């Protein structure tokens, strides 16, 4: 004759199983949250605009990731390789009210030289530029490529 388990024992067994499952998922959520935080912090550290070797440190005039009211784009356009793109036209020099975000839509990294140092901006990245005068060239550019002049007031 088979004995039926006591309903209270059955309920306690189900409660223990439920507690184990809840503990497992809470631990999993904690681990995933920690992993997401590490990735977020790591991404923030590596997604900024990198500096060129031997360049002056980035400070007040050139800062990655800061907000600005306007975006100025450097784009690939022949002849002369890269240009400041303004609407449908291309210019070698431009004066704008700032601050601005400079966006690199060229085919190589850009070297941005200003009163606060020199910095490289990778393709697809943006760099915040405060008031000042900036000379923009392509990293490793040929001597006949354009040197751009951007004045931010």
* Coil vs helix vs strand at 140: coil
Rg over alpha carbons for the chain, rounded to the nearest Å, is 28
**pLDDT category, 2, cuts 50, 70, 90?**
low
Which candidate, 109, 106, 114, 112, places its Cα nearest to that of 85? 106
Which candidate, 114, 78, 83, places its Cα nearest to that of 98? 114
Q: What is the pLDDT of residue 133?
A: 94
pLDDT in tens, 88-127: 888 989 999 878 898 988 888 889 998 888 888 888 888 8
C-alpha 60, offset from chain centre: 18
pLDDT in tens, 126-135: 888 889 999 9
Domain positions in the chain: 1-47, 62-152
Strands 148-152 and 82-86: unpaired
Residue 138 tokens read as 């392509």
Q: Which among 35-44, 52-61, 108-117 has the top mean pLDDT?
A: 108-117
Half-sphere exposure (Cβ direction) of 119: Cα atoms closer than 13 Å: 26
**pLDDT category, 64, cuts 50, 70, 90?**
very low
| d(C-alpha 147, C-alpha 143), whole Å | 9
- From the candidate CATH numbers 2.60.40.420, 2.40.10.10, 1.10.1040.10, 2.40.40.20, the one assigned to the domain spanning 62-152: 2.60.40.420
Indicate the burial class of 134 (C-beta count within 10 angstroms; 0-12, 13-18, 19 or more). buried
User: How is residue 153 annotated by DSSP?
Assistant: -
Please state, rounded to an integer, the average pLDDT across all residues of the chain.
Answer: 78
| d(C-alpha 150, C-alpha 103), whole Å | 13
Is the pTM of the predicted complex or chain greater than 0.85? Answer: no
């Amino acid at each position: 004759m088979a004995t039926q388990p006591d309903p209270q024992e059955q309920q306690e067994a189900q409660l223990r199983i439920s507690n184990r499952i809840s503990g497992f998922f809470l631990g999993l959520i904690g681990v995933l949250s920690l992993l997401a935080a590490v990735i977020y912090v790591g991404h923030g550290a590596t997604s900024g605009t990198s500096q060129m070797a031997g360049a002056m440190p980035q400070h007040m005039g050139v800062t990655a990731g800061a907000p600005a009211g306007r975006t100025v784009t450097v784009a690939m356009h022949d002849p002369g390789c890269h240009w400041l793109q303004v609407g449908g036209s291309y210019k070698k020099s431009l004066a704008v009210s700032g601050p601005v975000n400079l966006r690199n839509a060229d085919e190589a990294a850009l070297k941005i030289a200003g009163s606060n140092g020199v910095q490289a901006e990778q393709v697809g990245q943006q760099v915040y530029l405060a008031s000042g005068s900036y000379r923009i060239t392509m990293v490793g550019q040929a001597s006949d490529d354009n040197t751009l002049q951007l004045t931010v007031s």
